[in-house]
Amino acid sequence: MKSVNSLLVKKFFTLAEILKSLIAVALIALCLLASNWQWDKGAVATERNAIIKTNLTKTPLESLSGITDPISHQWLRVSITGHFISNKQTLVRNRYFQGVYGFEVLQLLQTIDGNIWINRGWVKAGDTAETAPVIPLIDTSESRILGRIRSEDLSRQLQGSFFALPQKNSAAIASASQYKESDFNFYLDLLDSENPKNAPLTPIELPDLSNGPHYAYAIQWLAFATLILLGRALLFRETQRLPLV
């Protein structure tokens, strides 16, 4: 029996078997890394959803001042007073509403706390690529609006993704400096306005609070790692079975 065991050990440490084992170890390591990556993504989604669920039920803020961490304030409602700037309007392209292609309309709002972009809602694209969409005119008189904080990095979204529509409604590519006219690194989705002329163009949809398949994928990668380990052991057993008989 001792000689059989020593023979197995000797055969396991042949060059071919060592290479097979190294490949198996590398694959297992990759599976563990992928599992950890998916688990971390699931944890981030869980934390984000917990913040959103809490913020959706909170009393609206009355000011934008003091919001230094938009991530922890995302989807929190804000009730502020200000007036829209008519010639500060941009369109976010590649947006869909009920399966129809169009744009989201951003309008700059001037408040006592500073200027901030407001997402007024969605409009249908023009009949051709050269036809500007029809956008209801904004009322520039002072009024109170209700919005929700969106924590996405606005500068990252605006670069290369926006068209500008000046007062004359002539389409032009938004300059790189235009998004910097906001004094905040977040924007607001318009929920309501005391001025009926500035009502949201379309309803703002609530976020999907699902954690996604990340935890399931993490477990799946662990299963793959286990299968590789078992497969390596079975492969060695089968390759050595005949010589041992």
Percent of the chain at pLDDT above 90? 38
Q: Considering the chain, what is the average pLDDT of its residues?
A: 81
Residues comprising the chain, all counted: 245
Q: What is the pLDDT of residue 139?
A: 92
Q: What is the average per-residue pLDDT within 44-67?
A: 88
Please tell me the distance from the alpha carbon of residue 97 to that of residue 8, in angstroms, as a whole number: 65
pLDDT more than 70, % of the chain: 80
pLDDT digits (tens, 9 = 90+) for 31-41: 999 999 999 99
**pLDDT at res. 117:** 92
The winner for highest mean pLDDT among 93-97, 106-110, 238-242 is 106-110
Q: How confident is the model at residue 243 (pLDDT cuts 50, 70, 90)?
A: low
